[in-house]
């Protein structure tokens, strides 16, 4: 399905019944990375799996900014009149989730994120250098976005007042101390470092994420 918001056309798929559950993928991905998770969640929730602007079947603007993506999510919730939605974001989707929950404190019921960074330098040096080389060759907007954004402050994190699950893989591309910092500065945060996993190994096309989300949700009813 398509919806027009903020002058932007977004594609999303809706499955299941129950409390709204929004899923947002990472940089360069689409809603399809959640194929396994959607099947699992849709037994209990109405799942809205969205292609972010500039990704998948959604329209591509001239420039990409995380704040615009967060504004898209707020407008999506309003347009569909979603009540008490849950939100899970992976990587770039996690950044969007942090911005959404801090800037729009009354939009979400609970927030769940995986592999979020607060600044571009929070990703490990080898990846950061690789992105700089790739951007120099390709000038892809997706690479520029990761090299120049986000800049989420401790004050922004303090503004998040809802129960929040902060996930990262043991071998994540984001520095462990950054993941810990995110959890420390969100008042009602639960931190889980997933043993043996990297940035997306337990998220993309995987059945491993569902029990982590459900354990959090069952403890925060």
Mean pLDDT, 10 residues at a time, over the chain (221 residues)? 95 98 97 98 98 97 96 98 98 98 96 98 87 85 92 98 98 97 97 98 98 97 84
pLDDT of residue 221: 84
How confident is the model at residue 135, as a pLDDT?
85
CA distances from 216 to 59, 108, 200 (A): 34, 15, 19
Q: What is the pLDDT of residue 115?
A: 98
| pTM (predicted TM-score) | 0.97
Distance separating alpha carbons of residues 96 and 67, to the nearest angstrom:
7
Q: Cβ neighbours of residue 175 under 8 Å, at least 6 residues apart? A: 122, 123, 124
CA distance 155 to 174: 20
CB atoms within 10 A of CB 87: 27
């Amino acid at each position: 399905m398509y919806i027009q918001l903020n002058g932007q056309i977004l594609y999303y798929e809706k499955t299941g019944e129950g409390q709204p559950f929004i899923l947002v993928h990472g940089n360069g991905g689409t809603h399809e990375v959640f194929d396994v998770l959607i099947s699992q969640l849709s037994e209990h929730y109405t799942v809205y799996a969205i292609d972010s602007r500039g990704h998948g079947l959604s329209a591509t603007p001239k420039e990409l900014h995380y704040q615009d993506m967060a504004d898209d999510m707020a407008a999506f919730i309003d347009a569909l009149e979603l009540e008490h939605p849950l939100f899970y974001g992976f990587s770039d989707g996690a950044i969007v989730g942090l911005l959404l929950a801090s800037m729009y404190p009354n939009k979400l019921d609970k927030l769940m994120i995986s592999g979020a960074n607060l600044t571009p330098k929070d990703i490990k040096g080898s990846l950061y250098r690789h992105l700089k080389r790739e951007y120099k060759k390709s000038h892809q907007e997706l690479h520029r976005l990761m090299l120049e954004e986000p800049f989420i402050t401790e004050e922004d994190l303090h503004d998040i007042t809802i129960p929040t699950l902060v996930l990262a893989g043991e071998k994540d591309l984001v520095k462990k101390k950054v993941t810990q910092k995110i959890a420390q500065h969100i008042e009602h945060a639960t931190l889980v470092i997933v043993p043996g996993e990297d940035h997306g190994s337990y998220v993309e096309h995987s059945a491993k994420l569902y029990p982590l989300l459900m354990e959090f949700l069952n403890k925060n009813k």
